[in-house]
Amino acid sequence: MGVRTSVRTSNTDVHACDGWGGEPMSELTIIDDEAHGLAGTTVGGRLLVDASAFHDALGWELKPEGLCRGDICVPVSDPASLSVNGRLDVAAVATALGRPVVVDADAGIAALGLPTGERRRALDGLEAPDFQLRDLEGTTHGLGEWQGKKKLLVTFASWCGCRYDLPGWQELHDELADEDFTVIAVAIDNSAEDVRPWVDGITYPVLVDPNHLLTELYAISNVPTVVWIDENDRIVRPNGVAFGSDLFKEFTGVESGPHLDAVRRWVNDGQEPLSDDEARQAVADLSDDEVLARLHFRVATQALRQGDEDAARRHFETAAQLAPYDFTIRRAAMPLMGDDPFGQTFFTFYEQWQEAGSPYHGLSATSALS
């Protein structure tokens, strides 16, 4: 195992697992909104790829005016610092783009986060961040596909009891379908096969987010989390815990009725529960550590797909240290590492979370529903 190092730059953290002498690797994986496989090498803990391969995978190209993708160019003061032996250094390019990055050179994996400040700007502007996620059949969908409809974005997971709550959301979807309304469910899960057993009879869109993109875009730290988005893709009610039925009322103490009634008032009568200023202030941004935790989680899941359990465990543990009370990190990792997300490990974690004050990014179940 290599020596793990951490380097702080002005806008990003670069975590690297240094290899033994930078042995060449035939294929590397770079993850942003999805995983891209491309040929490259590792030298001194750096992932190096051909510029053309990087452009084909992620769309960025190094030009005299800077790093460019389409009509967007990011100036680079020292272009030579982005390459080694004629190949692009993935971490250096990420830093130049203002994107946090986690690199494991031994595993040949890098995960890139959103550009610094992009999520906060979207939340402050109440602009629902777009996403590209696949459904269970592998078809890609973006948020803009449902423009013109009021949307209830509901996150759930196979590792959460809320998987049993999907029929409750189906009832609401059916009730309001003629009012230009739809539920969109997103599973914070590793694969479509993890989700498939729980969606029998569900007709609203169900998407899968294996890289936890949505948790970064919307600053989500637990499921079920629900976001109200209007016909013009404006956030009306930001992240909040909500349930589609009362299945878990005894455990959570949360009734589904007040939230469901508030949704009905919004869809039928246009009654919004928050002012724009209140909505902007409702969700705390992710901390730098919480962002890095998501990137370590992406590296871990990719390492697991590659059969590298040691690397996966190492990155899952780092993610847990960085975001110790984040269910989308802690509980989501349990089944991936062979632990029961409904067993004693979960209940121990749940007690720790409660003792810490039940930290959560978003509105409580009873906030802003009158």
Query: Which pTM value belongs to this model?
Result: 0.91
For residues 218-246, give the mean pLDDT: 95
Residues 65 and 204 in one domain: no
The pLDDT value recorded for residue 24 is 57
Confidence band of 245 (pLDDT split at 50, 70, 90): very high
Query: With contact defined as beta carbons under 8 Å apart, do 336 and 301 qualify?
Result: yes
In a domain, 354, yes or no: no
Residues 241 and 202 in one domain: yes
Residues 154 and 108 in one domain: no
Least confidently predicted of 23-27, 220-224, 226-230, 366-370: 23-27
Least confidently predicted of 92-96, 216-220, 253-257, 364-368: 364-368
Percent pLDDT > 90 in the chain is 81
The pLDDT value recorded for residue 3 is 29
In a domain, 15, yes or no: yes
- pLDDT tens-place string over residues 3-53: 233 332 333 444 444 433 444 546 899 999 889 999 999 888 899 999 999
- Tell me the C-alpha distance between 35 and 160, whole Å: 25
- Domain range spanning residue 30? 3-116
In a domain, 255, yes or no: yes
For residues 129-144, give the mean pLDDT: 96
In a domain, 84, yes or no: yes
In a domain, 311, yes or no: no
129 Ramachandran zone, left/alpha/beta (phi>0; psi -120 to 50) = beta
Q: What is the dihedral of CA 226, 303, 103, 190, to 10 degrees?
A: -10
In a domain, 360, yes or no: no
Residues 112 and 199 in one domain: no
Q: Smallest Cα–Cα separation from 156: which of 167, 141, 144, 171?
A: 167
Residues 149 and 207 in one domain: yes
In a domain, 163, yes or no: yes
Residues 91 and 191 in one domain: no
What stretches of 221-326 show up as alpha helix (H) in DSSP?
A: 249-252, 257-269, 276-280, 288-305, 309-322
Residues 269 and 217 in one domain: yes
Query: With contact defined as beta carbons under 8 Å apart, do 139 and 153 qualify?
Result: no
Residues 10 and 85 in one domain: yes
Percent pLDDT > 70 in the chain is 92
DSSP 334-353: HHHTT--TTSHHHHHHHHHH
Domain total of the chain: 2
For residues 203-224, give the mean pLDDT: 95
In a domain, 309, yes or no: no
Q: Which of 217, 246, 280 lies at the terminal end of a domain, its last residue?
A: 280
Q: Smallest Cα–Cα separation from 213: which of 297, 136, 104?
A: 297
Residue bearing tokens 């991936």: 336
Looking up residue 239, the CATH number of its domain turns out to be: 3.40.30.10
The pLDDT value recorded for residue 26 is 67
Residues 68 and 135 in one domain: no
Residues 133 and 180 in one domain: yes
The pLDDT value recorded for residue 12 is 41
- pLDDT tens-place string over residues 158-174: 999 999 999 999 999 99
- pLDDT tens-place string over residues 322-344: 999 999 999 999 999 999 999 99
The pLDDT value recorded for residue 370 is 60
Confidence band of 96 (pLDDT split at 50, 70, 90): very high
Q: Smallest Cα–Cα separation from 324: which of 293, 285, 282, 299?
A: 293
Q: 207 or 1, which is more confident? A: 207
Q: Is 18 helix (H, G, I), strand (E, B) or coil?
A: strand
Confidence band of 148 (pLDDT split at 50, 70, 90): very high
Residues 204 and 79 in one domain: no
Q: 250 or 293, which is more confident? A: 293
In this predicted structure, the answer to whether residue 152 has a pLDDT above a threshold of 60 is yes
Q: 228 or 119, which is more confident? A: 228
- Tell me the C-alpha distance between 262 and 327, whole Å: 26
Q: What amino acid is encoded at 8 in this protein?
A: R
Residues 224 and 247 in one domain: yes
Cross-strand partners of 227: 153
For residues 148-163, give the mean pLDDT: 97
Q: Which of 220, 245, 280 lies at the terminal end of a domain, its last residue?
A: 280
Q: Which of 280, 305, 328 lies at the terminal end of a domain, its last residue?
A: 280
Computed over every residue of the chain, the mean pLDDT equals: 90
